[in-house]
Structure 1
Amino acid sequence: MTDIPSPRDLAGTYFDCWRLRDFADLAAHLADDVAFDGPLASLRGREDCLEGLVGLARATTHLEVERRLADEEDVMTWFSLGVGGSEPTPVVNWCHVEGGRIRAIRVTFDPRGMLAAG
């Protein structure tokens, strides 16, 4: 019997890998056709999503998870994110999980501070 991680655990892995800049573990938890949508990018597929996250992780100067809410298929994570020289920006990340893998990621935030600092 294979243990299937809960959506809450998957979201924790997502943010732990980002914080540690180590995405080897995360790849196995993303669906092949994972979709990412946010104010600055829309990406499709595991490889493109990982590439985008690796690039963002390189620029991340601050990442603090403040709250996480989860149910059977969805996780909302409220966190603050600093990129480059920007002040930390409040962000909400929604991960949708199907079959034990992250199938969709949507983020929303006001990108003006990040764009001005970049």
Structure 2
Amino acid sequence: MNHDATTVVSQFIEDLNNEDFSGARNALHDDFVFEGVLGKREGADLYIKEMSQMKLKYEVLQSFEAGEDTCLWYNIDMNGKKILASGWYHTDAGKIRSFKVVFDPRPLLDPAQK
């Protein structure tokens, strides 16, 4: 099976979009680390638990790969608000080891912004 970084990350995003959280969990190392503008999470189980509650939807606009790293630009539907974001995924041995995301959180924090 081909485990290149972009294939692993693309399947992970597809699983999240389809709410296949067990499939998404299988793409992560147990000691997976997430870092975002609103906080940090350590551990794949905690991350997937939170994702299963949020049920975000991703519209991938572009992807870039460099070795074991994949960067995605995407729109994320967060509670009905479309947020432009970029995610940097690091893979190791066919699974995602870490993920960092950047986006402007103001539309989520200010109810007047759409």
TM > 0.5? yes
TM-score calculated relative to the size of structure 1: 0.86
The 8 Å contact of residues 13 and 24 in structure 2, kept in 1 or not, is answered as no
- Structure 2 counterpart of 1:11: 9
- Write out aligned runs for 1:25-104 (5 A): 25-57=23-55, 60=56, 63-86=58-81, 88-104=82-98
In angstroms, what is the RMSD of aligned CA positions? 1.4
For 2:76, give the aligned amino acid: L
Deviation >6 Å, runs of 4+ = none
Structure 1 residue runs of 5 or longer lacking an equivalent are: none
**Number of residue pairs aligned between Structure 1 and Structure 2:** 111
For 2:62, give the aligned amino acid: R
Structure 2 residue runs of 5 or longer lacking an equivalent are: none
Identity %: 23
CA shift for structure 1 position 28: 1.7
TM-score calculated relative to the size of structure 2: 0.88
Taking the aligned partners of 1:91 and 1:14, their CA distance within structure 2 comes to 16
Considering fraction of residues, name the structure with more strand: 2
